[in-house]
Amino acid sequence: MNSTIRAGIIGCGAVSSTHIEGFQSQQGVEVSWLCDIIEQKAATQAAAYNIENITTDYRQVLAADEVDCIVICTDHASHPEIAQAALEAGKHVLCEKALAATAEGMDAMCATHRKYPDLCLSGVFQHRFEHAPQLLKQCIEDGLFGRILTASSHLYCRRTNAYYEADNWRGTWGKEGGSALINQAIHYVDLLAWMMGGIKQVSGAYENLTHGNSIETEDTAAASCRFKEGALGTIVTTTSANLGWDPQITITGTEGTVEIRGEKVVRVVLKNKEQETELSNQLQEGIALPGMRAGKEYYGDGHNAQIADFIDAVRKRRQPFVTLESARHTVDVILAIYQSHQQNRWISI
């Protein structure tokens, strides 16, 4: 591999700017190709970021000898096909959430990656790189909250009919694989599963309560879950709330409780009051670090850190921080909630 790593971005929608800027900010990295099925989208981004090559066919990016890695920013259902083709072409892959829209797509992606274990394949879960989730995960592992009893992830936000109708893949089972859960809430489901050491069983339900014929999928969902370590929890989300973006994470154990809402530490309660003050200060100091944001406000400040980790993994031929198996677990949880609703039973993961 050349000392300079060259990347291709496939899909030039809303999140593509975040990835372009993230890759261009890394030393010894260039974005050399942009691809979108709508040529004007690729052309607009190429002009804005001084990128030489554009195409409407992702296969042209994969055929370029100078391309070392690609970023997949397309609709969910197309992720496995593009990722598999990229691996077979010898390219490293960073794939936006969700890795796949179906279990079959997820299986196919994983099977192909097993054939090319020296290539890096990572899913984008940028919030894992932020200070507060990393600190909370460490506190859980260190037993600061005692035995964990419950842990919950709630996301309330608003998406209009116009939002869903703007792109033909949104609000569809075939291309998006769902809606509120697999697109908006997935990042907070990921944090919950990652911090808690995994989810082993879910029972959930979903409905389209306010979006009528604009979507065929869900705008509201709720699930109960059993974690691998024994605790119970809930996952709740809606895109029909009169709120812009309101995520909440709550963890309660025998020795303490922590609740974070958006960028505010709502409460930290520990039996050990010195530890309580210290943790509260550490959490608040680490939330919304200035100058770290990339893209939309609710993207958080983890994209650049994940991109840096991915590039380092490519260079050193090591596993990325967000492994394929770890990213897959989050997709499996989401798909299990859908399956639970459809079959009216608990689903094991």
217/258 same-domain check: yes
285/312 same-domain check: no
107/219 same-domain check: no
Q: Is residue 20 part of a domain?
A: yes
pLDDT at 3: 85
CATH number of domain containing 39: 3.40.50.720
Report the C-alpha gap between 160 and 127 in whole angstroms: 25
pLDDT at 2: 57
Cβ-Cβ contacts under 8 Å for 293 (sequence gap 6 or more)? 299, 300, 301
Residue 201 in this model has a pLDDT that exceeds 80: yes
138/207 same-domain check: yes
pLDDT in tens, 305-323: 999 999 999 999 999 999 9
Report the C-alpha gap between 45 and 38 in whole angstroms: 12
19/120 same-domain check: yes
188/334 same-domain check: yes
256/340 same-domain check: yes
The CA distances from residue 324 to 6, 86, 96, 124, in Å, are 22, 15, 12, 10
pLDDT at 78: 97
- Structural domain of residue 70, as residue ranges? 5-126+304-322
Q: Is residue 178 part of a domain?
A: yes
Q: How confident is the model at residue 292 (pLDDT cuts 50, 70, 90)?
A: very low
Cβ-Cβ contacts under 8 Å for 343 (sequence gap 6 or more)? none
Q: Is residue 263 part of a domain?
A: yes
282/180 same-domain check: yes
Domains of the chain: total: 2
Burial class of 125 by CB neighbour count within 10 A (0 to 12, 13 to 18, 19+):
buried
Residue 299 in this model has a pLDDT that exceeds 90: no
CATH number of domain containing 199: 3.30.360.10
Which of 258, 269, 46 shows the shortest CA–CA distance to 152? 258
pLDDT at 285: 81
135/274 same-domain check: yes
244/338 same-domain check: yes
The enclosing H or E element of 138 equals helix 131-142
Residue whose structure tokens are 């370590």: 229
pLDDT at 300: 56
Rounded CA Rg of the chain: 20
Q: Is residue 117 part of a domain?
A: yes
Across 186-203, average pLDDT: 98
Q: Is residue 58 part of a domain?
A: yes
Residue 290 in this model has a pLDDT that exceeds 50: no
Q: Is residue 299 part of a domain?
A: no
116/194 same-domain check: no
Report the C-alpha gap between 203 and 224 in whole angstroms: 5
Q: Is residue 243 part of a domain?
A: yes
Q: Is residue 298 part of a domain?
A: no
Across 168-176, average pLDDT: 95
What's the gap between Cα 101 and its chain centre? 13
Partnered with residue 207 across adjacent β-strands are 220
Which of 54, 14, 59 shows the shortest CA–CA distance to 33? 54
Q: What is the pTM of this model?
A: 0.94
Residue 97 in this model has a pLDDT that exceeds 90: yes
pLDDT in tens, 222-266: 999 999 999 999 999 999 999 999 999 999 999 999 999 988 899
Residue 298 in this model has a pLDDT that exceeds 60: no
pLDDT at 284: 86
158/90 same-domain check: no
pLDDT in tens, 13-57: 989 999 999 999 999 999 999 999 999 999 999 999 999 999 999
- Rounded to the nearest integer, the mean pLDDT of the chain is 94
